Structure 1
Amino acid sequence: MSADTIRSPVMTTPSVSVVVPTYRRRDNLTAVITPLLDDAATGELIVVVDGCDDGSLELLQGLARSNPALRPVWTINQGGAAARQHGIELATHPVVLLIDDDVIAGPGLVSGHAAHHAQADDLVVLGYMPTRPAPEGARGRFATGLYAQEYEAVCREYERDESMILKKLWGGNVSIRTARLADVPYESGRFSATNHSDRDFGLRAHKSGLRGVFDRELLAQHEHVRPLDAYLRDARRQGEGRVLVHAAHADVAGQLDMGGTIRDLPAPLRVALVGLERQDQVAGLLTWLLRLVTLGAGRLGLHGIELGLAKFLRRYETRAGMREGLQRLELERQDAA
């Protein structure tokens, strides 16, 4: 098939298999699935319950009795990437739309994705999902604000340079032709227990010749909520995932740059962070104390102090995850030798 044929504007608008992996978000599920089921382009909605016992499966099974397009699926807990891949393998429609379980679709989201795929069959289509501002005084409000800043910065990068859409793919509202996922599976294995499975998928899609499209009109709202402990766990997982990304895709992503994680910090903070990392015997105690101070600052309304300490702790946890990832790679190399 020629490129002209592939990109013909008269291709039939495809129906969509929407895949939502979920873990312990029962209270969110009705809000997540309702706009997806209401969209005329949704051929089926596959919700994969990733081994949790919070009543999510029972809720979905009850809703499915009056919504034949809804397909609840249970799988043993293996992480979001594996659950997502399981749902993809069950998909029966020409396009798969991957939505996170804390993302609320706007009107016509599924149809909008389908319209893009009606124009070409070599696309990875990325929608826009701005973060809903956290209520004043909410636990972890600073984490939502920082997440939103990072997300918007990446979206602006997409618009400056379309090649970055796949090189820095930010999942949660992304679609692709089902047939393409046979050649480029979402899960590549190594990222199932850490973050950046979406970036790994984007880089593999880029190397396979697929094209990224970012469309702000494919609108959804991200209900991001992270208390401090979860925020810092994410940071450590992101650090480990970053190591894997650069190890697997050095030809596109380049070599890992540990220094880049602190280069933008003021000199006193850089010195303090590196000094803390060298205190092997007491680093755990010191970071625990910093967490307590961060939480206390938030409760007292000292949000500037809360934000500054949270940023510092996040850099520490990210770098700790990177060191763990590098150690794991080195052990793998030794075992393979």
Structure 2
Amino acid sequence: MTVSGIVVVIPAKNVEGVIETQLRALNAQSMLDFDVIVSDNGSSDRTRAVVEAWPAAFSSLTCIDSGDRPGVAHARNRGIECSDAPLILVCDSDDVVGPGWVQAHAAALAKADAATGPLLLTERGRRGFGEWGADGVPIAAGYLPYTPGCNMSFRRQVFKSLDGFDAGLWRGQEDVDFGWRLVKHGFSISHAPDAVVEYEQRVGLLAKVRQQFKYGRAFADLCSRYRADPIPVQGIKWRGRWWLSFLRRGLRHPVKSWRVTYPALAFQAGRILGSVQHRVRTPMW
């Protein structure tokens, strides 16, 4: 069990080359009274060895095995279950938390049930690719707010009340589902402006397209879970205007827009395929 009242849970799989950067950022926190649990979701590289050899400046560092079922949702659940800390913080293994990240989340949880903060989009550690969630708690699909999985915190009571993350959403969108259920259960989400995370993007067009196609399919899977309380879907005219504008941008600047346009198209393709498979109407996000 953990020593302090705060635990940071990091799902990980085959990240031996990047997880040290995140651990280094946690070593540099403005407050160090917290524990870290890395949940190894079936790594075939030296991820576990790297973690176990890391000289933690914070209270404790543990690496646990969650490889019996794939997906970050299961990895997070298993990591959280291995701790009894009342305050739970979650980040990813390939990102970088800011120096005041832990302290900002702890302060936010003193007034709310859950919290999230800004994401600075980076590629290969370089900034300048935009910000996300800087002005407040993000809202997914124009429906309800949520806490992105790379920058979230919540009280243990929340985790227990929701029975954790939905491990069936192994392709993604499990953080959106968690946030939506959190709000539906009457819990509050706070925006912590100082809880900043450098959010590393996929490098290369193919990697971006594959990721977004998977997320599109996952979004349809998510929507299928809300049939009893359907997510609002845009009308035919709105969709037609969106596609027209989308195609114009792509054709006008086919090279310059690949960073956004083609991955967005992959998401829509995955969403449409998933919608057909699950026989569900889905918004265009």
Tell me, in whole angstroms, the C-alpha distance in 2 between the residues paired with 1:66 and 1:107: 13
Tell me, what secondary structure is at the counterpart of 2:121?
coil
Q: Is the 8 A contact 1:64 1:71 kept in 2?
A: no
Residue 179 (structure 1) aligned to one of 153, 157, 170: 157
TM-score under structure 1 normalisation? 0.69
Residue 254 (structure 2) aligned to one of 287, 295, 305: 305
Q: Does 1:329 align with 2:278?
A: yes
Q: Is the 8 A contact 1:37 1:70 kept in 2?
A: no
Tell me, in whole angstroms, the C-alpha distance in 2 between the residues paired with 1:226 and 1:244: 26
Tell me, in whole angstroms, the C-alpha distance in 2 between the residues paired with 1:228 and 1:262: 26
* Fraction of identical pairs, as percent: 20
- What is the match of residue 283 of structure 2? none
Aligned residue identity for 2:218: G
Tell me, in whole angstroms, the C-alpha distance in 2 between the residues paired with 1:326 and 1:269: 21
Q: Is the 8 A contact 1:125 1:175 kept in 2?
A: yes
Tell me, what secondary structure is at the counterpart of 1:96?
strand
- What is the match of residue 269 of structure 2? 320
Tell me, what secondary structure is at the counterpart of 1:307?
coil
The Cα of 1:134 is off from its aligned counterpart by 5.4
- What is the match of residue 34 of structure 2? 43
Per-residue deviation, residues 126-161 of structure 1 (Å, max 9, x unmatched) = 02221235589xxxx9xx94xx4xx53x544648x8
Tell me, in whole angstroms, the C-alpha distance in 1 between the residues paired with 2:5 and 2:108: 12
For structure 2, the residue ranges without an aligned partner over 5 or more in a row are 281-285
Per-residue deviation, residues 201-220 of structure 1 (Å, max 9, x unmatched) = 10000100011111221122
Give the number of aligned pairs: 270
- What is the match of residue 58 of structure 1? 49
Residue 198 (structure 2) aligned to one of 203, 217, 221: 221
Tell me, in whole angstroms, the C-alpha distance in 1 between the residues paired with 2:90 and 2:8: 6
- The 5-angstrom pairing of residues 84-95 of structure 1 reads 84-95=76-87
Q: Is the 8 A contact 1:165 1:212 kept in 2?
A: no
Larger Rg: 1
Q: Is the 8 A contact 1:36 1:105 kept in 2?
A: yes
Q: Does 1:34 align with 2:24?
A: yes
The structure-2 alpha-carbon separation of the partners of 1:244 and 1:88, relative to structure 1 and needing over 3 Å to count, comes to same
The structure-2 alpha-carbon separation of the partners of 1:181 and 1:257, relative to structure 1 and needing over 3 Å to count, comes to same
Tell me, what secondary structure is at the counterpart of 2:216?
helix
- What is the match of residue 78 of structure 1? 70
- What is the match of residue 110 of structure 1? 102
- What is the match of residue 91 of structure 2? 99
- The 5-angstrom pairing of residues 194-273 of structure 1 reads 194-249=171-226, 254-257=231-234, 263-266=241-244, 269=247
- What is the match of residue 121 of structure 2? 131
Q: Is the 8 A contact 1:131 1:221 kept in 2?
A: yes
The Cα of 1:321 is off from its aligned counterpart by 1.3
The Cα of 1:106 is off from its aligned counterpart by 1.5
Per-residue deviation, residues 151-174 of structure 1 (Å, max 9, x unmatched) = 53x544648x8xx89524322111
The structure-2 alpha-carbon separation of the partners of 1:261 and 1:49, relative to structure 1 and needing over 3 Å to count, comes to farther
The structure-2 alpha-carbon separation of the partners of 1:249 and 1:42, relative to structure 1 and needing over 3 Å to count, comes to farther
The Cα of 1:195 is off from its aligned counterpart by 1.9
TM-score under structure 2 normalisation? 0.80
The Cα of 1:233 is off from its aligned counterpart by 1.2
- What is the match of residue 168 of structure 2? 190
- What is the match of residue 170 of structure 1? 148
Q: Is the 8 A contact 1:261 1:315 kept in 2?
A: no
